[in-house]
Amino acid sequence: MSLDELFRRTRSVQASLKTLTASFTETSVSTLLREPVVATGTLVGAIPLRVVMQYERPVPKTVALDQRWMVLAWPGRAEIEKVNIAAVQSRVQKYFVDVSPKQLQESFVATLSQARPEDAYRLDLVPKRKQISEGVTRVQIWIDPGSLMMTKMALSFAGGDAKTLELRDIKINPRIDESAFALLGRAGR
């Protein structure tokens, strides 16, 4: 499959996506740590962009985000942390979401591969622009060939750190109660 065809097919799936739930494993590798930190949990998401990640291990916490804010909360603590991520979200939209395959290839060396028909497609993105590569040196995205949903994303950072997010038990368009996103409302946005 070509990059153009994958884009065309995934755009139609994205257009029908309203909600999503999944379990996740997040692996963080840091040059400051001896061992990777492996976290597990569940996530819920809805359009317009609202995502809540409920971390179960190793440290329980909740991370909620939308187009403008990331809110962090920990069980047993009254305070929450709120970070304005509007500029970051704008860059993500500009370079990854609101782009055609041609525009993506203007900013990244993009390689699409699939070892066997039943394997996930893997999109490798290596930044061409210094402005991007000073932060992220490589992005890898695995896409399920049946559902055309992302199942894994790996980010490599300029300082040698890395983060991988793997999704499983993905459910597309389940009913999600608005209370799932209450933390975003508590942030006093």
**pLDDT tens figures, 101-140:** 888 898 899 999 988 888 899 999 999 988 888 889 999 9
Six-digit token string for 55 = 């971390």
Give the right CATH number for 3-186 from 1.20.1260.10, 2.50.20.10, 1.25.40.420, 3.30.540.10.
Answer: 2.50.20.10
Give me the residue spans of the domains in the chain: 3-186
CB-based burial of residue 146 (10 Å sphere; 0-12 exposed, 13-18 middle, 19+ buried)? exposed
Nearest to 55 by CA among 31, 70, 69, 73: 73
How high is the pLDDT of residue 32?
Answer: 92
Express each pLDDT in 60-90 by its tens digit. 999 999 989 999 999 988 889 999 998 888 8
pTM, 2 dp: 0.89
d(Cα 125, Cα 3) in Å, to the nearest integer? Answer: 12
Residue 188's pLDDT is 60
Give residue-wise pLDDT tens across range 39-58. Answer: 999 999 999 889 999 999 99
